[in-house]
Amino acid sequence: MNRQRTISKKVKMSGIGIHTGKDVSIALTPLPPDSGIIFRRVDINENIDIPATIDYVVSSERGTNLARESVEVKTVEHLLSSLYGLGIDNILIENEGGEIPAGDGSANDFVKLIDSAGIKEQAEEKNCVCVAQPVYHTDNDILIAIYPDDNLSLSYTISFGHKFLDAQYAYINLNENEYRTKVANARTFVFHNDVEALMKSGLIKGGSTENAIVITDDGLLEGELRSPLEFVYHKISDLIGDLCLTGVRLKGRIVAIKAGHKSHIDFVRKLKRYIHLMPVFEAPNSEPIYDIDAIKGFLPHRFPFLFVDKITYIEGKKRVIGVKNVTFNEPFFCGHFPTASIMPGVLIQEAMAQVGGMLLLTTVDDPSTKLVYFLGIDKAKFRKTVVPGDTLVFDLTTIRLKRNICEMRGEAFVRGELVAEGEFKAMVVDK
């Protein structure tokens, strides 16, 4: 599945929300490439879209809830699991009632809904990310980690110390076939002893044995398992749904031990931060988009006050990454300090501002006729010293851009560790 996917036509589904107990519905609509997965509450405010990303998670208690500007959609994980498992990248989910229908408690009803719409492959390639180093989340005896690999696989261990459900382990390679045959049909489950407390907390108002497995001390309250590993497969399904919130197609080997929605979300937050910083980690060895000669065509600075050696990443008007190699030959080391060479913090901020200036000047029609004046620096912090031999990597992101005024947030890294940060306000003017 190297190409992006959407569905072929609009389809609808209704049912009961497992936590709200309300009648709820969804309508799935195809979207063009690079749109992502979008939720929209058509019963409240059709003008507020909620992207299915970790930035909009507001709760992970017995499910994953997304919200934006007080507009909320609850229990999205099973639907997101089906979308990620089937490789759907671009889709609009119109919701009424504030919760996703529970179906039978698994992702299978959503798989059937997507199949009824038909899967459509799009021309653009998926946004795939292969991790270059392990990323961990731990909390006491809970572990979730991803390790470098060429494919996406998941292993999951659950352990409850319960008479009927003690421990289970499962491993899958996440592809469409494995998802359909092993994961999609696995239902959510709850221990009978927890039901009363959950109801008092305002949860599972729509829960029943029709949309959940209820476990007693002696076995199932009703029905039979669909698979001997249904419990652990459902935890894998939940994790897949939460991984969808990274907004990318992952490649790596994921290991989860005694995890749940809260730890999934904590892990995804850490993983999303790592993914965001991957261009920073790669910058020192990356080929330049703009080398020093090109930079001199944009910035008016010259020796000894040009502090950018190359630009390695530019994302439109949103983000820029630049590199400064710090050597003992820097003239400021003569006086700062003769017996302990430390790069002045103000010059780190100046270098960061120059990288931000590159972002602005690369977006104007004739940069040779423009200058960037910095109007202010706010929230400047210095966390580590920078010394000869260090390679500074500057990562600047646009906060606000209006006409010729721009506000940016900048971070400076050495070997992937944050050493300085600040927020800048600048203006582009004619020379």
CATH number, position 241: 3.30.1700.10
Helix, strand or coil, per DSSP, at residue 213: strand
Q: Are 192 and 221 in contact (CB under 8 A)?
A: yes
Whole-model pTM: value is 0.90
Shared-domain flag, residues 78 and 151? no
Return the active site residues.
Answer: 261, 336
Shared-domain flag, residues 151 and 265? yes
Q: Which residue has the tokens 């912090």?
A: 381
- Residue 141 within a domain: yes
* DSSP H stretches of helix in 28-160: 77-85, 108-117
Which domain, by its residues, includes 17?
3-123
**What pLDDT digit, counting tens, does each position of 272-315 carry?**
999 999 999 999 999 999 999 999 999 999 999 999 999 999 99
In the chain, what percentage of residues exceed pLDDT 70? Answer: 100
**What pLDDT digit, counting tens, does each position of 356-408 carry?**
999 999 988 899 899 999 999 999 999 999 999 999 999 999 999 988 899 99
Computed over every residue of the chain, the mean pLDDT equals 96
- Residue 119 within a domain: yes
pLDDT at 1: 61
CATH code for the domain in which residue 100 is found: 3.30.230.20
Mean pLDDT per 10-residue section of the chain, whose length is 431 residues: 93 97 98 98 94 96 93 97 98 98 98 98 96 95 97 97 92 97 97 93 94 94 96 98 97 97 97 96 97 96 97 96 97 93 97 96 90 95 97 97 93 97 96 88
- Residue 286 within a domain: no
Q: Are 252 and 149 in contact (CB under 8 A)?
A: yes
- Residue 66 within a domain: yes
Torsion of CA 50, 51, 54, 56, to 10 degrees: -20
Smallest CA-to-CA distance from 252 within 230, 280, 279, 275 is with 275
Shared-domain flag, residues 117 and 135? no
As a whole number of Å, the CA-based R_g of the chain is 25
CATH code for the domain in which residue 378 is found: 3.10.129.10
- Residue 285 within a domain: no
Give the integer Cα–Cα distance in Å for 2 and 283: 26
In the chain, what percentage of residues exceed pLDDT 90? Answer: 94
Shared-domain flag, residues 220 and 147? yes
pLDDT at 61: 85
195: part of which helix (H) or strand (E)?
Answer: helix 192-200
Shared-domain flag, residues 161 and 116? no
Shared-domain flag, residues 136 and 269? yes
Number of domains observed in the structure of the chain: 3
Shared-domain flag, residues 116 and 58? yes
